[in-house]
Structure 1
Amino acid sequence: MVTKKKERKKKNHRKRFYIVLLSLITLFLILIGSGVVYALNITRQLPPLEQFSSRKVSQSAKIYDRTGEVLLYKMFGEEKRTIVPFDKIPENMKKATLATEDENFYHQPAFDWKGILRALIINIKKGEFAQGGSTITQQLVKNVFLTNEKTIERKIKELILAIELESKYNKKEIFSAYLNQIPYGSNAYGVEAASQTFFNKPVEDLNLSEAATLAALPKAPSYYSPWGNHVNELMARRDYILNQMKELGFITKKKAKEAKSKKPDFAPPSMGTIKAPHFALTIKDYLIEKYGRNTVLNSGFKIITTLDWEIQQIAEEVVMSGAKRNEKLYGGKNAALVAQDPKTGQVLAMVGSRNWYNDKIDGKFNVATQGKRQPGSALKPFIYLTAFEKGYSPETVIFDTETEFVSGDPDCPTLVTPKSEKNEECFNPDNFDHVFRGPVSMAEGLAQSINVPSVKTLYLAGFNDVLKTLKDFGISTLKERWRYGLSLVLGGGEIKLNELVNAYATLAEQGKYHKQSMILEIKNSEGELIEKYNNESQQVFDKEQVKKINQILSDKQLRSGLFHSSLGMTLFDGREVALKTGTTDDYRDAWAMGYTPYLTVGVWAGNSDNTSMHQKGSSILAAVPMWSDFLNQVFQEKDFPKEVFNRPEAANPTNKPMLNGQYVFSPEINNTTYPQVHSILHWVNKDNPLGPTLQNPTQDPQYSNWGAPVMEWAKNNIPDFYRYNNPLPENVDFENNTRTSNLSIQFKEPDEGKYMNSPFLVQANINSLNGLSNIKLYFNNTLLQNLNVSGNSYNYFYYLNQPLSSQNSIELRVTDKEGIQKRKSLIVFKK
Structure 2
Amino acid sequence: MGWYRKLFRRLFSWFEVVAIVGIAIALFVFGVGVIWATLSPLPAIENFESRRVAESTKIYDRTGNIILYDVHGSMRRTEVPIENISRYIRNATVAIEDDTFYQHNGFRPLSFIRAVLVNLHLRGGIAGQGGSTITQQVVKNALLTKDKTIVRKAKEIILALRLERIYTKDEILQTYLNEAPYGGTLYGAEEASRYFFGVSAADVTLAQSAYLAALPQAPTRYSPYGTRRSELDDRKNLVLRRMYELGYIREEEYRAARDETVVFQSREETGIKAAHFVFYVREYLEDTYGPDVVTNGGLQVITTLDYDLQKKAEEIVRERALENKTKFNAENAGLVAIDPKTGQILAMVGSRGFFDPDIDGMVNVTVMPRQPGSAFKPFVYATAFEKGYTPETVVFDLKTQFTAHCAPNDLETHDDCYAPGNYDNVFRGPMTLRDALAQSVNVPAVKTLYLAGVEASIGLARRVGITTLADAGRYGLTLVLGGGEVYLLDMTAAYATFANDGIKNPPVAILRITDDVKKTLEEYKAKSERVLLL
The more displaced of 520-529 and 281-290 is 520-529
- The aligned amino acid for 2:400 is T
Q: Any conservation in 2 of the 1:320–1:355 contact (CA below 8 Å)?
A: yes
In structure 1, the residue corresponding to 2:466 is in which secondary structure? coil
CA RMSD across the alignment: 2.4
Which residue number in structure 2 is paired with residue 393 of structure 1?
A: 390
- Identify the residue that residue 272 of structure 2 maps to in structure 1: 274
Secondary structure at the aligned position of 1:264 is classed as coil
Structure 2 distance, partners of 1:240, 1:32, is 31
**Which letter does structure 1 place at the counterpart of 2:230?**
N
Please tell me whether the aligned partners of residues 144 and 181 of structure 1 are also in contact (alpha carbons under 8 angstroms): no
Residue number in structure 2 paired with 1:55: 51
1:419 partnered with 2:419:
no
Does residue 484 of structure 2 align to residue 493 of structure 1?
A: yes
C-alpha distance in 1, partners of 2:384/2:299?
A: 48
Separation (CA, whole Å) in 1 of partners of 2:410 and 2:55: 74
Matching residue within 186, 189, 193 for 2:187 = 189
Question: Which of 54, 69, 75 lines up with 2:71 in the alignment?
Answer: 75
After superposition, residues 788-807 of structure 1 pair within 5 angstroms as none
Q: Could you say which residue in structure 2 is the equivalent of 1:695?
A: none
Bigger proportion of residues as strand:
1
Query: 3-state DSSP class of the match of 2:338?
Result: strand
The aligned residue for residue 101 of structure 1 is: 97
Distance 1:176 1:57, change over 3 A: closer
1:699-710 equivalence runs, <5 A: none
Task: Give distance in 1, aligned partners of 2:430 and 2:32.
Answer: 87
Cα distance, 1:358–1:55 mapped onto 2, change above 3 Å: farther
- Structure 1 stretch displaced more, 489-498 or 515-524: 515-524
Deviation of 1:51 after TM superposition, in Å, equals 4.3
**Counterpart position of 2:505:** 514
Contact 1:336–1:353 (CA under 8 A) maintained in structure 2:
yes
* CA gap 1:330/1:277 in 2 versus in 1, 3 angstroms: same
Instruction: Quote how far apart the aligned CAs of 1:457 are.
Output: 0.4
Q: Alpha carbons of 1:300 and 1:112: their partners in 2 closer, same or farther (altered >3 Å)? A: closer
Paired position in structure 2 for 1:110 = 106
Stretch deviating more after TM superposition (145-154 or 117-126): 145-154
**Map of 1:348-497 to 2, 5 A cutoff?**
348-368=346-366, 370-406=367-403, 415-420=405-410, 424-497=415-488
Structure 1 residues 131 and 318: alpha-carbon distance in aligned structure 2, compared to 1, 3 A threshold: same
Counterpart contact for 2:71–2:185, Cα < 8 Å: no
CA separation of 1:91 and 1:33: change in aligned 2, threshold 3 A: closer
Residue in 2 that maps onto 1:598: none
Residue in structure 2 matching 1:154, options 152, 155, 165: 152
Decide whether the 8 Å contact of 2:207 with 2:258 is kept in 1. yes
On the 8 A contact 1:339/1:349 being kept in 2, the answer is yes
Q: Does 1:293 align with 2:284?
A: no
Q: How many angstroms does 1:472 deviate by?
A: 0.5
Alpha-carbon spacing, 1:318–1:299, altered in 2? closer, same or farther (3 Å): same
Cα contact 2:370–2:487 (8 A) shared by 1:
yes
Deviation at 1:118, TM superposition (A): 1.1
Taking the aligned partners of 1:273 and 1:215, their CA distance within structure 2 comes to 25
In the alignment, the residues of structure 1 paired with residue 31 and residue 370 of structure 2 have an alpha-carbon distance, to the nearest angstrom, of: 64
Residues 199 and 266 of structure 1 are in contact (CA less than 8 Å); yes or no, is this contact kept in structure 2? yes
Asked if 2 retains the 8 angstrom alpha-carbon contact of 1:57 and 1:78, the reply is no
Choose between structure 1 and 2: higher helix proportion.
2
* Contact residue 34 and residue 154 of structure 2 kept, 8 A: no
Distance 1:118 1:528, change over 3 A: closer
Alignment of 1:469-618 (within 5 A): 469-543=460-534
Matches of 1:293 and 1:325, distance apart in 2: 40
Equivalents in 1 of 2:296, 2:81: separation in Å?
A: 29
- Change over 3 Å in CA distance of 1:90–1:357 after alignment to 2: same
User: Which of the numbers 314, 317, 326 marks the counterpart of 2:315?
Assistant: 317
Q: Is the 8 A contact 1:512 1:541 kept in 2?
A: yes
Residue 133 of structure 2 is aligned to residue 135 of structure 1: yes
> Aligned with 2:50: secondary structure?
coil
Q: Report sequence identity in percent.
A: 46
Range 80-89 or range 386-395, more displaced: 80-89
Query: Post-superposition shift, 1:458?
Result: 0.3
TM-score by length of structure 2 reads: 0.89
> C-alpha separation between the residues in 2 aligned to 1:468 and 1:360?
38
SS of 1:250's equivalent? coil
Check 1:35–1:332 CA distance in 2 against 1; reply closer, same or farther (3 A cut): closer
Task: Please give the alpha-carbon distance, in whole angstroms, between the structure 1 residues aligned to 2:304 and 2:255.
Answer: 46
Match of residue 86, structure 1, among 82, 99, 106: 82
Structure 1 507/230 Cα, relative in aligned 2: closer, same or farther at 3 Å? same
Distance in 2, matches of 1:531 and 1:405, equals 51
Letter in 2 for 1:125: H
Partners of 1:347 and 1:518 within 8 A in 2: yes
Distance 1:202 1:64, change over 3 A: same
Instruction: Give the secondary structure class of the aligned counterpart of 1:184.
Output: strand
**Aligned AA (1:281):** F
Return the alpha-carbon distance in structure 2 between the equivalents of residues 497 and 34 of structure 1: 52
* Contact 2:58 2:71 survives alignment (8 Å): yes
**Cα distance in 1 between the residues matched to 2:57 and 2:288:** 14
Contact conserved, 1:75 with 1:284, CA < 8 A, in 2? no
Q: CA deviation at 1:275?
A: 1.4
Residue 35 (structure 1) shift: 7.0
**CA shift in 2, pair 1:168/1:337, >3 Å:** same
Q: 1:348 is paired with a residue of what secondary structure?
A: strand
- How many Å apart are 1:525 and its aligned residue? 4.1
- Residue 242 of structure 1: how far off its partner (Å): 1.3
CA contact (8 A) 1:184 1:217 kept: yes
Q: Distance in 1 between matches of 2:31 and 2:184?
A: 45
> Contact between 1:57 and 1:79, CA under 8 Å: does it hold in 2?
no
Q: Which amino acid aligns with 1:315?
A: A
Alpha-carbon deviations, 1:462-520, whole Å to 9, x = none?
11211110011110111232332111001111000011011111111111111212222
Partner of 1:164: 162
Cα gap change, 1:493 to 1:144, in 2 (>3 Å): same
Shift of residue 215, structure 1, vs aligned partner: 0.2
Name the amino acid aligned to 1:119.
A
Listed one character per residue, the Cα deviations across residues 255-303 of structure 1 (whole Å, up to 9, x for unaligned) are 2222223332222335742211111221222222212233234443332
- In 1: Cα distance, 2:100 partner to 2:106 partner: 11
SS in 2 for 1:334: coil
**Quick check: which has more Rg, 1 or 2?**
1
Does the 8 Å contact 1:394/1:441 carry over to 2?
yes
Count, aligned residues:
504
Structure 1 window deviating more from structure 2 (68-77 vs 50-59): it is 50-59
Query: Are 2:401 and 2:410, in contact at CA under 8 Å, matched by a contact in 1?
Result: no
* Contact 2:30–2:150 (8 Å) recurs in 1: no
Whether contact under 8 Å (2:72, 2:186) holds in the other structure is no
Distance 1:233 1:126 in 2: 24
Shift of 1:31: 11
Does the CA contact (< 8 Å) of 1:140 and 1:182 recur in 2? Answer: no
Q: Measure the CA separation in 2 of the matches of 1:119 and 1:37.
A: 20
Give, in whole Å, the separation in 2 of the partners of 1:479 and 1:311: 33
User: What is the CA–CA distance in structure 2 between the aligned matches of 1:260 and 1:284, rounded to whole Å?
Assistant: 29
Q: Is the 8 A contact 2:302 2:510 kept in 1?
A: yes
C-alpha displacement at 1:319, in angstroms?
Answer: 0.7
Q: Which residue of 2 aligns with 1:571?
A: none
- The 8 Å contact of residues 454 and 475 in structure 2, kept in 1 or not, is answered as no
Alpha-carbon distance between aligned partners in 2 of 1:354 and 1:383, rounded to the nearest angstrom: 31
Match of 1:124 in 2: 120
CA distance in structure 2 between the aligned counterparts of 1:233 and 1:447, rounded to whole angstroms: 43
TM (normalized to structure 1)?
A: 0.58
